[in-house]
Amino acid sequence: MAELMPPDTRRCTYFFLYDGSKVRGEGDPTRQGICYFYPEETPLDKQELMCGQLAGVSRCVSELSSSPVHTLRLRRCKFAIHMMEDFFWALGCSTEVPTVSVCELLDHLINIFCFYNGPIRQSYQLNSKETLAAQWARYLSHVQSGPSEIYNIFRCLRTVDSTTVDPLLLLKAALILQACQRCPLVLTGCILFRGRVVSTQMSPQLTMKVMVQESETYTKSQRSNGASTSCSLGAPVSSTAVFLTTSELQYLQSTPVNKNVSPFSPPLLDAPPKKTRLSRTLSDTPSTESEPPRLQTPQKLSFSPHMSESDDSFSPAPSQSSADSPNTSPQPTRSPLPNGGHAVETEHKLSHHHGFKSNGGSSVFEENQCLNGDDVNGDAARRAVFDLQGDDSGNEQSRDAQMVVGDSGVCFRKAESKHPPPPFTCALDSLEESPLIPKMLYMHRVNGLVLALLVEHGFMSDAASMEEVYHSSLASLNGLEAHLRSIAAATPGTSGQYTFAHYDCIQSTLTTNVSGRSGGAPEHPFVRATSLLHSHFCDTETLQEAIIRNAGVAVYGTRSVAQVTYFQQHSGSLRNSGIPNQQDSAFSLPSKARHRLLKHGVNLL
Amino acid sequence: MKCLLIASESAEVLFHWTDLEYQRNIQEQYGASQEEGEELPAFEDILSTLFAPIIISYSTMEDSYTSFTTDNNHIYVLHQFDECLYIAVNGDGEEKEDDLRRKMYVMKKMIEVMFGMVTLSGTLLRKELRPQDTEQRIRLWKHLQNLIETYSHLRENDQSFLVEAVERLIHPMLCEQCIEFLERRLVQQLNSSVERAGEEVLHAFILVHTKLLAFYSSRNASILTTSDLLALIIMAQNMYPSNVDLDDQSPEVTKSFYTPEPSPSSRDSGSSGDLHALEISPPDPSTPRRVFLDISLKDGLYPMMPHSMYCLPLWPGITLVLLTKIPTSAVALSVYKYLEDFDKLEKRLREGQGSSAAARSPLNMQDVRCKLDKFVKALGPSELQSAQLQIVWTEFKNRAFAKNGPGFNKDLIPWCKKMKTQLCGIYRQCFLIDSTDFPQRLSPGLQEGAQAMMQEKLMDWKDFLLVKSKRNITMVSYPRNFPGLVHFICVDRSSGQMIAPSLSITERTTSELGKGPVARFIKSKVWGLVRTTRRYLQKGYSTVTLRDGDFYFCYFLWFENESGYKLDSVDIPVLPDDSPPIGTLACDYYKLLRYYSKNHKGETVKCYELLTVHLGVIPTEIILQHCRQLASKLWEPSRNPLL
């Protein structure tokens, strides 16, 4: 009766895609419908049994309930199911992983596939089953690459460690991205370093998808020393076709171009001083002015019409920006610091602090934003255009910084809260309803560092633009890479005193000292408790905090709209009778968590 | 949108219960695939057709299905008990997966109480649950459907069925008087009467709605388990539904699932609910119900032993229940022992061929052989069933004991099964088939006498008791002593009893929590809390505190030894998601827990649970202090500030 389940570190035990349309006739063997099956070494008989039975029983249940099956559980395994037309996906995980996480993971996998291959049916018409099976295998191994069990619970964006990286480097990265965006064919971008995000302008969901390609080219470049050439610019640059959902595209269009959702992206308050500072810090600074200003407004307009069916506010941009321009006139007074050493430091700290605050603040807005979302869109779009103009004079950002940081939270949050089971769901819907929009993913690799840009198709054929983006960013990327490389990869080892996990739902980032080393055995109780609490938080909207305790372990969980934190204190004597007792150490967990986690940048106050 | 289906492996419907909405939904589903103008087949056939793919796939899978959910939040839970596959469905969001699983287990428990060891034989149980005779089948299914509805109603509205512990009416003086009356007067008189037809009253108790006023067990009776007591309360409620919630939700109304019109006699469990309004005379109220209950004797635990249950209504809402031992119950004991023996033998044969276990078994079997020979002889070959047993037993002996026979090897396994089926058949013949011409029972006159005696005794208390049962604990003092405390439930798991302030949410009565939406909201919170804490308990966590909305919830489980000393908490087993529900009605989870917490053999361990609901604004230290006070004082009436 007492069945202690062994910790299964493998995230997924089964994953398969079955195409029912291939098995119509009586004589059709089930294997014809199996598009991909993981683990691949599973005997074909068993594959057929699983696919046939699960797909069959799910169809029966769907008909009974007039709704597709969402989850299916066996005694030893739980499956997230996705049914679309004749396609049937099943992702099976250990029963300890929260159901909500398994479902998210399956949606994520399907989304990745669609991002790189376009609509499912179409890609299976165009490509062989084997080619696409290799893709599924690749995506599956990518999503399972989390270093410890705790990554089975939270689908998160891994970022460079903010505590070890000089914030100026992050600023630098953000600036590189902005510089690239001067080319109007560039939609948005991110900078990644060895599988971690340095800076991104995209939503976490989109960034996660882009990172699949990054890790792919990284392993390739490791193998063949960077010979993945696909364009005139030579070795380190590659490109691949990708597909955005309409909602993703709308989001891109509605966002300020210098919007930055990276958790560490410094706000732009100190834009002017950065030049002097950066020129001292980094080996080479691209002059932002070096880009011809002629590109800005006209080109922005030139591409906006064809992607603005959904967002009319783009077209009247010139008039809007001129309407806005009076506001900009007082701005230069805000940024008079030419090259203040000390002043820069303080200013920077201030701004950083400010950024933190306003990020947190965005969560507070959340609900209001949903109410007048469209308005925000329009505003954001206007600001986008305005910013490009402002950039010319080089000193407008300061005014925008506050708004932008706030706004980015706003826009993003909107995307999340409008479609409750976050954007990927609408992405899946759009698979069925509206087509995916093809774009290109441009990647420029400098050793471990990658500049990834989502670009219009025209970009790849526009040699001038490409060269410009390439050359304008090359030196900065080199410099950034050199600095990031020199930072020792410090793993946040378990401090021994406590274990914690802090998940930022808006930025999809996880801060934790669960290392997963030595099999994760000592951390397993924490992960197990976290898994349960996570399910509970997901089920119960009103739940704010919880303490659960058994004979050996007490774990505290708390959440706000934007974040959720789990904490366990390791102490010798938890033993007691279990009768209510104020002296019980379990009840001091909230205050301990508040104190201990401050130094990890987690504020629970 | 609710459904409970029991099917055999070949997708034959053994029992079904659906509410009207689900029935309509199923008929629509089926109608869509039908041609215009065609008449719908019988509902059970539709169910069988539609669920067949699931049932067949279930038996095909190695690791079987436990649940499905759909995008529109329909939940399907599946569980196989021996050869019966149970499928419970909810499509209205009122029940969660664990509720459905619990419902299935409770259904199984009720079937065990009704059919006893016949449930151990798949073949016999199939026949029993699905009688060939349509009229009989309709009657049985209607009865089972009523039981599910009564149970569901209690689980949704009665705190004692929420936590699955018995609630006593708190009135020590009257309680003591009643017990004395039951012992000295009632039971003594009944057991010394010549009209008792060989029966012996073992237990007698008085129910006021679902609450226990007094309980008396005769000296030579085994302890009645909480699980059985709760099941009996459900049966009593099913026979005489209390109208305590009538203005809220009438059990009568909820009972119109199978028939389009509630039959006027649907109170009587055995009455006809047939669509064709068959004229079936309601059973004689003085005919007892056969119930099968667990008893523990010196040499061990004997499950599903036959008893007769007499439900004597004193007044609406107040019932006297008598449980008697029937004269032939010794046969059940023997049958159980033999069943166990053959079960053991089968296991040994399966496990170790030629191993030491197999070598040992002939020794045991010689003993069994002797006893069983005598047993068969005593039964006599007169009845068809015992003649069959004799044939199979002879064949078994030829194979197992003959000098040149095959002996004890795997080939004997099917014969073990056959023996078990035959034994169950004997049991069925002895305890389930009434000899209609001469029913075994306490004489009607004796029953009436007992009823009258009890009525006379309680006449002056009647109205008080009915009110008291709705407001068992008056919480007038707690705003002062426990500021911020909204509600609590305290359960003594060793005695299977609970204490909680009443949570009446009917429009007419006002409880301490007010009435209408507020009380209903708090009630939903309490019900949700119990579900949540069970989930954590299942995964091994025995202390839970939650800040949820405007409330702060606490849950504690702890162990004490007999002298009240608090034992160190132990590692509670982590159970899989599809394990039996945490509770006592269907399976006693706490018995298992008490076993785990034992330090040494023979130690008596008590297990307590406390749930509290506080206002969220109260500081945690104060809340914990309240919990501490409640935990230490609640079980000592003299010190209990609330009683």
| pLDDT, tens only, A555-605 | 999 999 899 999 998 876 656 788 898 888 889 999 999 999 988 888 887
Burial of B438 from C-beta contacts in 10 A (0-12 / 13-18 / 19+): exposed
The C-alpha torsion from B255 through B260 and B261 to B264, rounded to 10°, is: -50
Pairing of strands B200-208, B211-217: antiparallel
| pLDDT band, very low/low/confident/very high, at A236 (cuts 50, 70, 90) | confident
Whole-angstrom Cα Rg for chain A: 25
**How far from B421 is each of A425, B400, B412, B435, CA to CA, in Å?**
54, 18, 14, 22
Q: Which residues of A touch B567 (CB under 8 A)?
A: 577
**How many C-beta atoms surround the C-beta of residue A521 within 10 A?**
9
Cα torsion B285, B290, B292, B296: sign = positive
**How far from A300 is each of A245, A278, A452, A468, CA to CA, in Å?**
21, 28, 20, 16
**How many C-beta atoms surround the C-beta of residue B435 within 10 A?**
7
* Interface-testing mutation among A59, A532, A534, A549, with chain B (most B C-beta atoms within 10 A): A549
Residues B449, B305 share a domain: yes
Instruction: Find the residue in A nearest to B566 (Cα).
Output: A577
- Residues A18 and A33: their CA atoms lie apart, in Å, by 5
Instruction: Find the residue in A nearest to B560 (Cα).
Output: A577
The answer to whether the beta carbons of residues B13 and B33 sit under 8 Å apart is no
The answer to whether the beta carbons of residues A107 and A205 sit under 8 Å apart is no
Q: Has residue B401 got a pLDDT over 90? A: no
Residues B485, B355 share a domain: no
The answer to whether the beta carbons of residues B309 and B288 sit under 8 Å apart is yes
Residue B3 lies in a domain: yes
The answer to whether the beta carbons of residues B318 and B403 sit under 8 Å apart is no
Percent of chain B scored above 70 by pLDDT? 86
And the tokens for B564?
């009240």
Residues B481, B613 share a domain: yes
- H or E element, residue B113: helix B97-115
- H or E element, residue B629: helix B620-633
Q: Which residues of A touch B71 (CB under 8 A)?
A: 67-70
The top-level CATH class assigned to A167-220+234-253+433-486 is: alpha beta
Rounded mean pLDDT of chain B? 86
- Residues B552 and B554: their CA atoms lie apart, in Å, by 7
| pLDDT band, very low/low/confident/very high, at B305 (cuts 50, 70, 90) | very high
> What is the pLDDT averaged over residues B428-452?
84
Q: What is the ipTM of this complex?
A: 0.89
Between residues A523 and B247, which one has the greater pLDDT?
A523
| DSSP letters for B280-334 | -PPPPTTSPEEEEEEEEETTEEEEEEEEEEEEEEEETTEEEEEEEE-TTHHHHHH
Burial of A546 from C-beta contacts in 10 A (0-12 / 13-18 / 19+): buried
Q: Where are the domains of chain A?
A: 12-145, 167-220+234-253+433-486, 498-600
- Residues A483 and A151: their CA atoms lie apart, in Å, by 28
The answer to whether the beta carbons of residues B87 and A61 sit under 8 Å apart is no
Q: Which residues of B touch A579 (CB under 8 A)?
A: 556, 558, 566, 608, 628, 631-632
> What is the pLDDT averaged over residues A233-243?
80
Residue B294 lies in a domain: yes
> What is the pLDDT averaged over residues B46-50?
94
Q: Pick B631's closest partner by Cβ from A3, A65, A580.
A: A580
Percent of chain B scored above 90 by pLDDT? 61
- H or E element, residue B371: helix B356-379
Residues B521, B453 share a domain: no
- H or E element, residue B214: strand B211-217
The predicted structure's pLDDT at residue B627: 94
Residue B272 lies in a domain: no
Cβ <8 Å between B65 and A74: yes
Residues B602, B570 share a domain: yes
Question: What CATH number is given to the structural domain containing B447?
Answer: 3.30.450.30
| CATH architecture for the domain at A498-600 | 2-Layer Sandwich (3.30)
pLDDT tens-digit series, residues B294-304: 999 888 899 99
Residue B270 lies in a domain: no
Rounded mean pLDDT of chain A? 72
Q: Which of B382, B414, B433 is the last residue of a domain?
A: B433
pLDDT tens-digit series, residues A330-358: 333 333 333 433 433 333 333 333 333 33
Cβ <8 Å between B543 and A77: no
Q: Pick A575's closest partner by Cβ from B535, B547, B568.
A: B568
- Residues A12 and A14: their CA atoms lie apart, in Å, by 6
Q: Which of B51, B78, B97 is the last residue of a domain?
A: B97
> What is the pLDDT averaged over residues A516-545?
87
Residues B319, B229 share a domain: yes
Residue B416 lies in a domain: yes
And the tokens for B335?
């049958």
Q: Which residues of A touch B596 (CB under 8 A)?
A: 2
Q: Which residues of B touch A73 (CB under 8 A)?
A: 65-68, 577-578
Cβ <8 Å between B566 and A551: no
Cβ <8 Å between B620 and A587: yes
Residues B450, B401 share a domain: no
Cβ <8 Å between B63 and A76: yes
- Residues B574 and B559: their CA atoms lie apart, in Å, by 18
Out of A398-402, B19-23, B537-541, which region has the weakest mean confidence (pLDDT)? A398-402
Cβ <8 Å between B543 and A546: no
* Interface-testing mutation among B29, B65, B624, with chain A (most A C-beta atoms within 10 A): B65
Spell out the residues 6+ positions from residue B394 whose beta carbon is closer than 8 angstroms to its own. Answer: none
- Residues A212 and A443: their CA atoms lie apart, in Å, by 12
Q: Pick B558's closest partner by Cβ from A53, A71, A577.
A: A577
Residues B319, B447 share a domain: yes
Between residues A229 and B318, which one has the greater pLDDT?
B318
Cβ <8 Å between A4 and B574: yes
From first CA to last CA, the distance across chain B in angstroms is 42
Backbone angles phi and psi of B315, in degrees to 5:
-145, 165
- Residues A485 and A449: their CA atoms lie apart, in Å, by 9
- Residues A352 and A162: their CA atoms lie apart, in Å, by 12
Backbone angles phi and psi of B542, in degrees to 5:
-105, -5
- Residues B436 and B432: their CA atoms lie apart, in Å, by 12
| pLDDT band, very low/low/confident/very high, at B379 (cuts 50, 70, 90) | confident
Helices A204-224 and A99-117, interaxial angle, to 10°? Answer: 60
DSSP reduced 3-state for A502: strand
Residue B128 lies in a domain: no
Cα torsion B528, B529, B534, B536: sign = positive
The top-level CATH class assigned to A12-145 is: alpha beta
And the tokens for B349?
């044969």
Cβ <8 Å between B628 and A68: no
| pLDDT band, very low/low/confident/very high, at B366 (cuts 50, 70, 90) | confident
Instruction: Find the residue in B nearest to A76 (Cα).
Output: B63
Percent of chain A scored above 70 by pLDDT? 62
Cβ <8 Å between B66 and A75: yes
- Residues A353 and A272: their CA atoms lie apart, in Å, by 18
Q: Pick A69's closest partner by Cβ from B70, B577, B627.
A: B70
Cβ <8 Å between A65 and B621: no
Cβ <8 Å between B568 and A577: yes
- Residues A248 and A423: their CA atoms lie apart, in Å, by 8
Q: Which residues of B touch A2 (CB under 8 A)?
A: 573-575, 596
- The closest of B117, B51, B42, B136 to B85, measured between CA atoms, is B51
Between residues B444 and A263, which one has the greater pLDDT?
B444
- Residues B554 and A545: their CA atoms lie apart, in Å, by 12
Residue B153 lies in a domain: no
Q: Which residues of A touch B541 (CB under 8 A)?
A: 529, 532, 548-550
- H or E element, residue A536: helix A524-539
Which of A281-290, B485-494, B595-604 tops mean pLDDT?
A: B485-494
The predicted structure's pLDDT at residue A262: 44
Map tokens 């800040």 to a residue: B547
Residues B362, B380 share a domain: yes
Cβ <8 Å between B542 and A578: yes
- Residues B75 and B68: their CA atoms lie apart, in Å, by 6
The predicted structure's pLDDT at residue A530: 96
Distance of CA A429 to the CA centre of its chain: 20
Phi-psi region of A8 (alpha: psi -120 to 50; beta: other; left: phi over 0): beta
* Interface-testing mutation among A59, A65, A107, A581, with chain B (most B C-beta atoms within 10 A): A65
> What is the pLDDT averaged over residues B328-344?
91
Instruction: Find the residue in A nearest to B51 (Cα).
Output: A60
Residues B602, B479 share a domain: yes
Q: Has residue B511 got a pLDDT over 80? A: no
Instruction: Find the residue in B nearest to A576 (Cα).
Output: B568
Q: Where are the beta strands (DSSP E) in B458-589?
A: 485-492, 497-499, 543-548, 551-561
Cβ <8 Å between B575 and A73: no
Residues B400, B322 share a domain: no
Q: Which residues of B touch A536 (CB under 8 A)?
A: 532, 535
Instruction: Find the residue in A nearest to B61 (Cα).
Output: A53
Domain that holds residue B367: 332-433
User: How many structural domains does chain B have?
Assistant: 4
Q: Has residue A411 got a pLDDT over 90? A: no
Backbone angles phi and psi of B109, in degrees to 5:
-60, -45
Cα torsion A64, A67, A69, A75: sign = negative
Pairing of strands B84-90, A543-549: unpaired
Spell out the residues 6+ positions from residue B629 whose beta carbon is closer than 8 angstroms to its own. Answer: B482
Instruction: Find the residue in A nearest to B24 (Cα).
Output: A64
Question: A42 vs chain B: nearest CA distance in angstroms?
Answer: 15
Residue B130 lies in a domain: no
Map tokens 């009645």 to a residue: B224
Q: Pick B628's closest partner by Cβ from A57, A528, A580.
A: A580
Secondary structure of A108-174 as H, E, C letters: HHHHHHHHHHCCHHHHHHHCCHHHHHHHHHHHHHHHCCCCCHHHHCCCCECECCCCCCCHHHHHHHH
Cβ <8 Å between B71 and A77: no
Instruction: Find the residue in B nearest to A553 (Cα).
Output: B541
| pLDDT band, very low/low/confident/very high, at A260 (cuts 50, 70, 90) | very low
Paired with A90 in beta bridges are: A16, A81
- Residues A411 and A403: their CA atoms lie apart, in Å, by 11
The predicted structure's pLDDT at residue A223: 60
Residues B483, B380 share a domain: no
Which of A309-318, A344-353, B351-360, B369-378 tops mean pLDDT?
A: B369-378
| DSSP letters for B402-434 | -TTS--SSGGGHHHHHHHHHHHHHHHHHHHTS-
Out of A156-165, A249-258, B130-139, which region has the weakest mean confidence (pLDDT)? A249-258
